[in-house]
Structure 1
Amino acid sequence: MKNLKINLTALYESGYSLNSVSCCYRAIERVHQSPDHYNEYADLQIIFSQTCKPMDVVTNLEDEFIRVICTSKYYPWSGDVVYRSFHAVPLPNRSSRTIEKLFYWKKHLSDIKHKNSQNVEKSHSVRLENNSTTSNSVPVNSGNDPSHKLSSQQNVVEKDSGSQNTKLPKVPPNVVLLGIDSMSRLSFQRNMKKTRQYLQEIGAVEMLGYTKVGENTFPNAVAFISGYQVQDLTKICFFSQNTRQDLCPFLWKKFSEANYLTALIEDVPLLATYNYFKTGFVEQPTDYYFRPYMLGVHYHSPSVLFSLDCIGSNTVDETIHKYIGDLLSMSARNETPVFIYTWLTNLAHGDLNAARHADESYLQFLKSLDLSNTILFFMSDHGYRYGMIRETFPGWQEDKLPNMWVHIPKNIQKQFPTWLPSIEKNSVRLTSPLDLYKTLVHILNTFTTIKNVPDSKSFQGDVIPRKLGQTLFEEVPLTRKCPEAGISENFCACVAPRRLPTNNSNIIAAAKTAIVHINEQLPKVCAKLTLHKVTAGGIMDDTEHSINGSSIVTYVVAFETTPGEFLFEATVESDAKLQSYSVVGELLRMNKITTDVSCVKNDFLEKFCFCLAT
């Protein structure tokens, strides 16, 4: 149970007293649907409790998400709203499962304490026996029998880790993924200098070669949370955008199985990773799920469709920072590990330079955290994908190289002395979200009883192997190529294109090939696109190769179409022998979607479709 207190100082300074106002709160709750009978709104519906529960100066909360309202009691302001805001409190006893986890770790620690106590008694009795033995007797413990040695660290347990016994903490480390959408490595360097400097000061390592594997958030998230690419996930559990994702092999399930508390926190409900043009989850996916809270906030801000800057006197990011801090504090008080997956979209998604205004708040947030038993991944999914910067060659490269930092606590560095050196070597090597997945699995294998994560089966019963990715706690090969890291050619930033004139015949042919490719996929409700102009083009010199005696050359072209003035980037291969061109990988949209796309309820088609009038 958690207390919520009325700020008496603020109340009095506003000209009110406890006797002149009346405060109450309504709980925000998720509407439950059956996994067997659900609709596309299953993860979108919430309700506010009918009863507004009265509040005192100090109120014991029984609900994790609430909306508080205080009104004036007396004429002539009777009924006027004095205060109105939302509050989120991570309650330890919010469900039977969280209670089970807390009890598990309480018993686990009690067992260790009892075992240590027995070892102390055994050692004491051995010393007494030794002291009573005559000088010419054989000692009971010569120092060669480890069964009689008392550990100098009674707050650790031993676990076999390969060729040696590694002493592990009584409670596994917390794992925190803190993601800021659309933040390239260089954008983070430009806009969040204080936060970056602090990460350096605490010994976090910047992953300079960390490269995205998909165009937007979802494919990159799928890679690091499931170990699969989207095309594999569609064979396992994500059969269509209407399919609930409850059955997908997302790694928070394994952390939960290892009795971690789990949390999924996002700031923009309508753009959320697992909900944008998707059903999302029918059942609550993690112990702590922030979505109902943010839906409640948005439902009371109907004029703001997607992004919301503030909740009361705090920014949305600050509100979430507080929730994360409270969650970590609650788990620490209960000596229970927590897995927190946070994704913040609003800050940098719509403005290349907006993050600079949050630099100080992120700095203070990180400073407020006790990271002594927390492995932190401070990260992004990709760089800025739209606007003028994206039309430049530096912007082409930034888009592919998201921000990524790894922080390993000093006590874990001591326990596993090869981890940090491996991270430092890998910081200048090619890595991807698939490697992050294997790193998270490595953490599970090391600190919990989870020995492995089995590959999933397709709906036809075939095993879909996780072929790509490796843990970042082991050295990545220096000669690694993009395909080996699960990075397709159109996302590979290892080689930059050499600029060609926009009227080059191969560049124009590549653009026309890409437009044919787009039009072949458009439904009848969308207008056919035509080439308006080529805005940039280049050749990938280092990728030229031969197939069956024919020279294959790769071009990158940016072009604008009509109607709609859509701006695209395409990677196109040219076969000199066949005199043919073919699109490689995804076509990327380079300017924001500003036209009506309601005729296609599909996140893939929306970037290509100019809806015809009906």
Structure 2
Amino acid sequence: MGCSDVSIFQLNNIYNNMNNMYQTFRERSKTLSDSTALNTPKQNTSTQKGVRRGRVASKSGESTEVTVAQMSPSLDVSTFPADKQTSPASSDKHTIAASSRVRAKVCEFAEVDEADPSIAKYLKRHPPIDCTANIPNVVCLHGDEIKVDNAKVQEALRKINSSGRLAYCQYQTLHRIPNTDNRVNSNFTSAKFKVSSKLMISDEDIRIECKDTRNKTISRSYFSIIRPDPEKELAYNNSYKVHLDRNSPAETLSLLLIGIDGFSKQHFSRAMPKTRNFLITQLGGLELFKHSKLGYSTSSNVIPLLTGRTNEELAEDTIWRFKTHGDMDQINEAFAWSDARRLGYRTALMFDQVAITAFHYSRGGFKRRPVDFYMRPIVVASNKDDLMRPGHKHCYGDEPEVSKLYDYWLQLLHTFNSTRTSRMPFFAYSFLSRLTHNDRNQAYAGDDLYLKFLTDLKATNALNNTVMIWFSDHGQRYGASMHTLAGEIETNTPFLFFAFPPWFEKKYPDKMRVFRTNQNRLTSHFDTYATIQDLLYFKRVAGQSGKLAERGISLFREIPIQRTCANAQIPAEYCVCSLVPKASSLRSGLDKYLGMVLRDKVNSMLHKHRDKCTKLTFLKIKSFVERNGQEKGNQLRPGIRNFRVTILTTPGGAEFEATLSFDESTNRAAVVGEVARSNSSTEKAACIEVEELKRYCYCKII
């Protein structure tokens, strides 16, 4: 039998088998102990221990403060000319407008036209991803059975110029090696087969290989299969019943979080217009138009999304230490998926990268399985498989990686959420980096792939009981466009969409009215986390309006129109409310002076590692923009001026960017908040292990 008429949705056998197994274990559920029933759910409130609502200090808490005379003896401050009205970035022909929806002295959120010429010159449309030349997949899954597609076998034989024929296919199971998240092994190899092979009920992650009569590999493929565990299902059902009795949620909606790395809202609009249009017009996606990032890295943005806390707060509140290479198991209970698990939700995680994730980069990952469904084994195995990825890192054999990975979510949705009346909710989080992280132009190649995924979701009615959160962490961080004002705005403005079930707005008009109001309010991922918690403990009526003192406000509660970055605890260096262009009055030599202050700040951060890291020298200013400082709540004192400065240093050609405050009455300057690296980093920093310092270090011995 061929595979052309078989799709990933034909998993009914698994589903039916699961129901049959439930009957076997039903009696056991009556005596199931509390420990087997997972953790007893408890109401998660904004006053939960460890969740702070006070102001958080910037990551770079200490300031580097020097005088002009100290840092630049040749610069005579008394000879500074009087202020002159000049453009803050006269070389930038940008197209930037402030939002006129709110009154002055609120948050005038800076916007960038997607056709802005200062960005457009760096854009180049990437061709579609073509994997057809790679080793093919000649098998498919049909329920609990692997079937060989003879037509694809013949095609595979022709592709490798084989004069032989299919000898056999065989599959191996893949498992994580205990106490590690980055190594896998196989403990079972199936019997050889030519037509089909029955999978065992315990098989989750498998690698299938087929050979011809000359023992040459003609096909290799990887599959990760959603396998509900009957005993866990009983435990989840018990936890779910407790949740219903104790918290009385009006709805138990599944949550599907789709994250894409390094992707601004402006570039999403320009690079994936078909996907964005389908998300809005066909799935009812609602965009948060004034959404801001919270930090430089992926971790500093998704950790607040998933925990409501910063990396630093987690380090203070738990035994986990952000500045070490500790494993993530120590804080797994703090993540939203663990909150959901305690309420009887099934949980799932998916990444495309092995090392470059918020949980693995300079960290130990998860030594124990963090969720129920974790397709980590095939990601680890396939990333090291040169036969599967020869010359095209975006392919799984002859299939685009994005499509392969999102098939896993289609399985999950079909298994647990096929009908609205289903009482098997799930929490699924995915974050893909490979396509967008290093090169913004590659995102163009993803439009059709993501569109196909969303089309499949709609065609199968898979979102009928699911809220989909479509988000990114930050915009592009590297490249020449970062030296433009438009580029700075883009890096600070990730996208965020919520897509609700088609029936949701009609049933809850008051909640959705508030949500739509909040589309034009200043938000961050602290608010995303608060909304996730609101969805887990869903109440029928909309909550009271949020308060300015709250940094995380559910989007079902009205966010104050007066909210500022200071109120929302968005660090000043990432606040685009103060990036509305201002006619700047510059004093001669001020830009160079501020550049040297920034250089000294970086060197001071590396002082304890001066035996390993080279002292950096200032070469030149790459960009220099004055912030207008108009935002209510962040108003500057008279004589205080803020600038966003990017410098080039040597050795290594590192570019650093930061906000600096200059006091005209004292001629003193200080770095405010975090120093960002605006070109690629860490390849010359292997000599130190402190993750957050790698971007600044140029090793003396490479």
Task: Give the aligned partner of residue 687 of structure 2.
Answer: 599
* Separation of aligned partners in 2, 1:344 and 1:546: 35
* Separation of aligned partners in 2, 1:381 and 1:536: 24
* Separation of aligned partners in 1, 2:304 and 2:231: 31
**Structure 1 letter corresponding to 2:205:** F
Residue 71, structure 1, aligned to residue 206, structure 2: no
* Separation of aligned partners in 1, 2:274 and 2:636: 54
Task: Give the aligned partner of residue 117 of structure 1.
Answer: none
Q: 1:271 to 1:587 in 2, by over 3 A?
A: same
Residue 243, structure 1, aligned to residue 323, structure 2: no
- Aligned ranges 1:6-405 → 2 under 5 Å: 6-14=148-156, 20-33=166-179, 42-49=180-187, 51-55=189-193, 56-61=195-200, 62-72=202-212, 74=213, 77=214, 79-93=215-229, 96-98=231-233, 100-101=235-236, 168=250, 172-201=252-281, 202-237=283-318, 238-239=320-321, 240-248=323-331, 249-301=334-386, 308-332=393-417, 335-369=423-457, 370-405=462-497
Task: Give the aligned partner of residue 475 of structure 1.
Answer: 558
Conserved? CA contact 1:546–1:552, under 8 Å? no
* Separation of aligned partners in 2, 1:529 and 1:570: 16
* Separation of aligned partners in 1, 2:147 and 2:292: 46
- Aligned ranges 1:531-546 → 2 under 5 Å: 531-543=618-630
Q: How far off is 1:65 after superposition?
A: 0.9
Q: 1:514 to 1:9 in 2, by over 3 A?
A: same
**Structure 1 letter corresponding to 2:271:** N
User: Of 533, 536, 558, which residue of structure 2 is paired with 1:444?
Assistant: 536
Q: How far off is 1:595 after superposition?
A: 4.3
Structure showing greater relative contact order (alpha-carbon pairs closer than 8 Å, 6 or more residues apart): 2
Conserved? CA contact 1:90–1:326, under 8 Å? yes
Q: Which moved more, 1:339-348 or 1:591-600?
A: 591-600
* RMSD of aligned alpha carbons: 3.2
- Structure 2 SS opposite 1:271: coil
User: Of 399, 409, 418, which residue of structure 1 is paired with 2:510?
Assistant: 418
Task: Give the aligned partner of residue 134 of structure 1.
Answer: none
Structure 2 residue runs without a partner (length 5+): 1-13, 15-143, 541-548
Q: Which moved more, 1:409-418 or 1:195-204?
A: 409-418
* Separation of aligned partners in 2, 1:196 and 1:269: 28
Q: TM-score, normalised by structure 1?
A: 0.80
Seq. identity, %: 27
Conserved? CA contact 2:205–2:222, under 8 Å? yes
Conserved? CA contact 1:261–1:336, under 8 Å? yes
Q: 1:582 to 1:98 in 2, by over 3 A?
A: farther
Q: 1:303 to 1:502 in 2, by over 3 A?
A: farther
- Structure 2 SS opposite 1:422: helix
- Structure 2 SS opposite 1:536: strand
* Separation of aligned partners in 2, 1:19 and 1:189: 48
- Structure 2 SS opposite 1:282: coil
Q: How far off is 1:212 after superposition?
A: 0.3
Conserved? CA contact 1:490–1:584, under 8 Å? yes
**Structure 2 letter corresponding to 1:555:** F
* Separation of aligned partners in 2, 1:501 and 1:525: 41
Task: Give the aligned partner of residue 430 of structure 1.
Answer: 522
Q: How far off is 1:587 after superposition?
A: 0.6
Conserved? CA contact 2:682–2:694, under 8 Å? no
Q: How far off is 1:208 after superposition?
A: 1.0
* Separation of aligned partners in 1, 2:602 and 2:591: 17
* Separation of aligned partners in 1, 2:163 and 2:150: 8
1:446-481 per-residue CA deviation (whole Å, 9 max, x = no partner) reads: 179xxxxxxxxxxxxxxxxx9621001121111100
Conserved? CA contact 1:262–1:288, under 8 Å? yes
* Separation of aligned partners in 2, 1:87 and 1:6: 14
- Structure 2 SS opposite 1:195: helix
1:186-244 per-residue CA deviation (whole Å, 9 max, x = no partner) reads: 10000101011111112211111010001010010111100001221111233133222
**Structure 2 letter corresponding to 1:510:** L
Conserved? CA contact 2:619–2:648, under 8 Å? yes
Q: How far off is 1:103 after superposition?
A: 7.6
* Separation of aligned partners in 2, 1:108 and 1:23: 47
Conserved? CA contact 2:148–2:196, under 8 Å? yes
Q: How far off is 1:99 after superposition?
A: 5.4
* Separation of aligned partners in 1, 2:242 and 2:537: 18
Structure with higher Rg: it is 1
Conserved? CA contact 2:648–2:654, under 8 Å? yes
Number of matched pairs:
530
Q: TM-score, normalised by structure 2?
A: 0.70
Q: 1:377 to 1:430 in 2, by over 3 A?
A: same
**Structure 2 letter corresponding to 1:339:** F
**Structure 1 letter corresponding to 2:255:** V
1:271-314 per-residue CA deviation (whole Å, 9 max, x = no partner) reads: 01111001122211111112222111112239989993111221
**Structure 2 letter corresponding to 1:218:** S
Q: How far off is 1:604 after superposition?
A: 1.3
Task: Give the aligned partner of residue 585 of structure 1.
Answer: 673
**Structure 2 letter corresponding to 1:174:** S
User: Of 565, 568, 574, which residue of structure 1 is paired with 2:653?
Assistant: 565
- Structure 2 SS opposite 1:607: coil
* Separation of aligned partners in 1, 2:224 and 2:325: 29
* Separation of aligned partners in 2, 1:506 and 1:328: 58
* Separation of aligned partners in 2, 1:318 and 1:447: 36
* Separation of aligned partners in 2, 1:486 and 1:409: 31
Conserved? CA contact 1:267–1:344, under 8 Å? yes
* Separation of aligned partners in 2, 1:195 and 1:548: 41
